[in-house]
Amino acid sequence: MDRLLHHELRAVFSVLAVVAVSVTAAGLAHGFVPPEPGKVALYLAGLLAFAAVWTLLKGTRLRGVSWIRDYDRAVPVEDTGVVVPAGASLRDGWFNWPVLVLFLLFVLPISVFWEPWVIGIALWSALDWLGQAALVAHWERRNGLLLWRGHVASRPWELSVSRRPPTRTATGARPA
């Protein structure tokens, strides 16, 4: 069982690592020729604008696009009979290894042997997962719940929710 926010952030870290490796490898293979600043700025602005609009659409309750509807339908962890991992943290693992390997196998050869701009596809994926993480964090904060994925091993996409644990003070004691 994995917290959905941590799952999304691990995917972002994995894809950004692939982008860094692919940019370096493509630069070594094709030479580090700086692209025209206007084209790069225009591409990045378009990519960010499209990612922002797509994330806002996923944050609505529109049928077929909304992720919020899936979050609202998540079953309570108590109903599944699964124990929530105590102290689940993003520090336990920074990368989603299957995502890292798959993106590396796809993006690296194409960026080195054919066209370096394929790295933009990986960057789009990272922005999409980052937007997804922002939606999850916003939903969790607004509802006071934590979203979990994979309460049934054969269906890792199913979501469940649990109460947010009470905060602790700097000494580790529960608040009064």
pLDDT of residue 72: 86
Average pLDDT, integer, range 52-74 = 87
| pLDDT score of 125 more than 70 | yes
- pLDDT of amino acid 82: 67
Please state, in angstroms and as integers, the Cα–Cα distance from residue 43 to each residue in 23, 50, 123, following that order.
16, 11, 11
Q: Is the pLDDT of residue 154 over 80?
A: no
* Token representation of residue 23: 């940019």
Mean pLDDT of 36-46: 84
Pick from 18, 49, 51, 13: which is nearest to 131 by CA?
A: 51
The residue among 156 and 111 whose pLDDT is bigger is: 111
What was the pLDDT predicted at 95? Answer: 82
What was the pLDDT predicted at 176? Answer: 58
Query: Is a pLDDT exceeding 80 seen at residue 87?
Result: no
